Amino acid sequence: MKAMLLKEICFLEKNREPLEIADCHVPVPGEGEILIEVAACGVCHTEMDEIEGRTPPPAFPVILGHEVVGRVVEAGRGASRFEIGDRVGVGWIYSSCGRCSFCREGNDNLCRAFRATGRDANGGYAEYMKVPEDSAFLIPDSFSDTEAAPLFCAGAIGYRSLRLANIKNGQNLGLTGFGASAHLVLTMARHLYPDTPVFVFARSEKERGFARELGAAWAGDTEEESPKKLHGIIDTTPAWKPVVEAMKNLEREGRLVINAIRKEEKDKDSLLKLDYPEHLWLEKEIKSVANVARSDIAEFLELAAQIPIKPHVQEYPLEKANEALMELKERKIRGAKVLRIG
């Protein structure tokens, strides 16, 4: 099979082609696993965190990709959830122990044995991948393959972030950064909280314009002050500066939810500007989002079909994965980027 391999940690400023196309053996599904013929795989900022070593794979080479859509072509011993030919998707959660208190409570995203698709196990930048059947989900017919791919990370993690923001209908919601996840959160928020205005902060005028197209009440630069204080803000950026800037816009008792698996180190000095009276006092709080639980994916897919959510996608062939990653790095973003495979 064809696959795009990451063979070592590198920095995209110096190496614009970190992935190499290669011929690999088709994986064989083990007990409780299924084999998927991949049709599409989303390109996520987390892949850059893997490539540049902020959340490094434990072994190389590795196949990245955790927004995977494809068809079941084989089932390992004991795997019986799906029929051959079923269209399924896979997100960031590849496996968990299933026994610890977190798993038993439905918070398998916090399991100490959590393994990530495309980092701890080979992912979807390939023609085939295997996965435990419990971590695959049937895809509603209303989505094409490329539309469905971003739902499995950008959408599901956005859904978890929105829940953790803990806002009520009519309260003010902020989004800082407006890429693949945030544009889906905006659509979700307008459906779930119809009286809640959404305020968007983004560096790029194109992103701000896109936010207004999708119904944002206001869109400004990262450093701007919002017209109203915000009861909840979701940060989807890889940087620290937007975190500090967002805190000054929070209402008393407001919550900032950080939707990022890692933050880049290059602007960590921005944290020195965090001022306790201005940014944190009056019972403001910061909460991080850790991974994504299976229940998040299942619930979000149902919601996405109900709304319905139609992600804006840019398609690339598998061999153009490096190009898609560099455009993401350079913030050439309008919606989500998806690899078309097979």
In this predicted model, what pLDDT tens digit does every residue of 229-245 receive, in sequence order? Answer: 999 999 999 889 999 99
Q: Tell which of 247, 266, 288 closes a domain.
A: 288
Element (H, E) at 146: helix 145-148
Instruction: Check pLDDT > 80 for residue 272.
Output: no
Do 267 and 324 lie in a common domain? no
Do 143 and 161 lie in a common domain? no
Instruction: Check pLDDT > 90 for residue 61.
Output: yes
pLDDT tens for residues 240-268?
999 999 999 999 999 999 998 888 777 78
User: What is the tally of structural domains in the chain?
Assistant: 2
Is-cis flag, bond preceding 61, omega within 30? yes
Rounded to two decimals, the pTM is 0.92
Decide if 334 contacts 206 (C-beta within 8 A): yes
* Residues 6+ away with beta carbon under 8 Å from 133: 32, 33, 34, 75, 79, 80, 81, 82
> Structural domain of residue 297, as residue ranges?
2-150+292-340
Do 33 and 108 lie in a common domain? yes
Instruction: Check pLDDT > 90 for residue 278.
Output: no
Do 71 and 196 lie in a common domain? no
Do 188 and 254 lie in a common domain? yes
Do 167 and 43 lie in a common domain? no
CATH number at residue 235: 3.40.50.720
Do 236 and 277 lie in a common domain? yes
The mean of the pLDDT values for the chain is 94
Q: What is the DSSP letter of 277?
A: I
Q: Tell which of 265, 288, 311 closes a domain.
A: 288
Do 129 and 196 lie in a common domain? no
Do 142 and 219 lie in a common domain? no
Here the tokens at position 82 are 């799906």
Here the tokens at position 144 are 């094409």
Decide if 151 contacts 305 (C-beta within 8 A): no
Residue 326 to residue 323: CA distance in whole angstroms = 5
Do 57 and 34 lie in a common domain? yes
Do 323 and 270 lie in a common domain? no
Rg (CA), the chain: 19
CATH number at residue 322: 3.90.180.10
H helices of the chain, where? 45-51, 101-104, 145-148, 154-165, 180-192, 205-213, 241-247, 294-306, 321-329
Q: What is the DSSP letter of 279?
A: I
pLDDT tens for residues 285-339?
999 999 999 999 999 999 999 999 988 899 999 999 999 999 988 878 777 899 9
Q: What is the DSSP letter of 142?
A: T
Q: How many helices (H) and strands (E) does the chain have?
A: 9, 18
Residue 300 to residue 143: CA distance in whole angstroms = 13
Q: Tell which of 267, 288, 309 closes a domain.
A: 288
Do 37 and 129 lie in a common domain? yes
Instruction: Check pLDDT > 80 for residue 85.
Output: yes
- Nearest residue to 75 (alpha-carbon basis) of 32, 137, 135: 32
Element (H, E) at 219: strand 218-220
Quickly state the pLDDT bin for 40 (edges 50, 70, 90).
very high
User: What is the model's pLDDT at position 330?
Assistant: 87
